[in-house]
A and B are shown apart, each in its own frame.
Chain A
Amino acid sequence: SYELTQPPSLSVSPGQTARITCSGDALPKQYAYWYQQKPGQAPVLVIHKDSGRPSGIPERFSGSSSGTTVTLTISGVQAEDEADYYCQSADSSDTFSVFGGGTRLTVL
């Protein structure tokens, strides 16, 4: 079955830049999506179609894609950005989607 691989954790200081990667064999041909989830809450879509930012999402959130890796970048990290982040994308045959294992972002 298809898998997306994320680092389990990342720690950054306030004001720094956080870069969270997601790797998968089908990413060159499939869009990726990124979610932020805080404890006790439903996930929130923060990046769509690799690099689009939904309405209401701060400009410090951005996405990029290069080959089999997509990256979520949070510029000028704030304390409120501490959360779990998940990537999502489809398999190469476009039959189903999967989520990455998630990355816990800690703001020091």
Chain B
Amino acid sequence: EVQLVQSGAEVKKPGESLKISCKVSGYSITSYWLGWVRQMPGKGLEWMGIIYPGDADTRYSPSFQGQVIISVDKSISTAYLQWNSLKASDTAMYYCARPDSSGPQGGFDFWGQGTMVTVSS
């Protein structure tokens, strides 16, 4: 059974750094792309970026390029989403998701449960 299990909710202050995780199981992490999706409170879904764990090829939405870092540790089947300096506007639910076999632009057929990140002074 394919599962994506994300790390727990975080409460941080502006300017702090953060790395949230997404651990996959039930398939080989090197066989599929893994993406991240943001959903701000009461708002829609936003495609942030995606990584191919096999070779760490990473694509970012222009809206998120330079704002976050997506990485992976194949040895523990885990992908990460990282901020170096959080802003209040980063407050959102973040989902990791696995696209179908269509490649990096495919539809996400498996999703993590989401990680709520709250940034407040």
Does A associate with B in a complex? yes
Residues of chain A touching chain B, judged by Cβ–Cβ distance below 8 Å, are 1, 30-31, 33, 35, 37, 42-45, 48-49, 54, 84, 86, 88-90, 94-102
5 residue pairs, one from A and one from B, having the closest CB atoms? A33-B107, A90-B105, A42-B111, A102-B44, A99-B45
With a CB–CB cut-off of 8 A, which chain A residues contact B62? 1, 96
With a CB–CB cut-off of 8 A, which chain B residues contact A99? 37, 44-47
With a CB–CB cut-off of 8 A, which chain B residues contact A31? 102, 105-107
Residues of chain B touching chain A, judged by Cβ–Cβ distance below 8 Å, are 37, 44-47, 49-50, 59-63, 95, 100, 102, 104-109, 111-114
- Interface contact B106-A33, CB-CB below 8 Å: yes
With a CB–CB cut-off of 8 A, which chain A residues contact B109? 45, 48, 54
Which of A31, A89, A99 is most buried by chain B, counting CB atoms within 10 A of its CB?
Answer: A99
With a CB–CB cut-off of 8 A, which chain A residues contact B106? 31, 33, 48
- Known A-B contacts: A96-B62, A102-B44. Give 11 more (CB < 8 A): A31-B106, A33-B107, A42-B95, A43-B37, A43-B45, A43-B111, A48-B100, A88-B47, A94-B105, A96-B105, A97-B50
- Interface contact B102-A98, CB-CB below 8 Å: no
With a CB–CB cut-off of 8 A, which chain A residues contact B47? 88, 96-99
Contact flag A42-B114 (CB < 8 Å), given A1-B62, A48-B107, A96-B60 = yes
Q: What are 9 pairs between A and B in contact, CB < 8 Å?
A: A30-B105, A37-B45, A43-B108, A45-B108, A49-B102, A96-B47, A96-B59, A99-B44, A99-B47
Which of A42, A49, A100, A101 is most buried by chain B, counting CB atoms within 10 A of its CB?
Answer: A42
Measured CB to CB, the closest approach of chain B to A70, in angstroms, equals: 12
Which of B50, B109, B112 is most buried by chain A, counting CB atoms within 10 A of its CB?
Answer: B109
- Closest residue of chain A to B62 (Cβ to Cβ) is A1
- Interface contact A45-B112, CB-CB below 8 Å: no
- Closest residue of chain B to A94 (Cβ to Cβ) is B105
Measured CB to CB, the closest approach of chain A to B98, in angstroms, equals: 11
Q: How far is the CA of A43 from the CA of B96 in the complex (A)?
A: 11
Q: How far is the CA of A37 from the CA of B60 in the complex (A)?
A: 23
Contact flag A49-B45 (CB < 8 Å), given A42-B95, A42-B114, A96-B59 = no
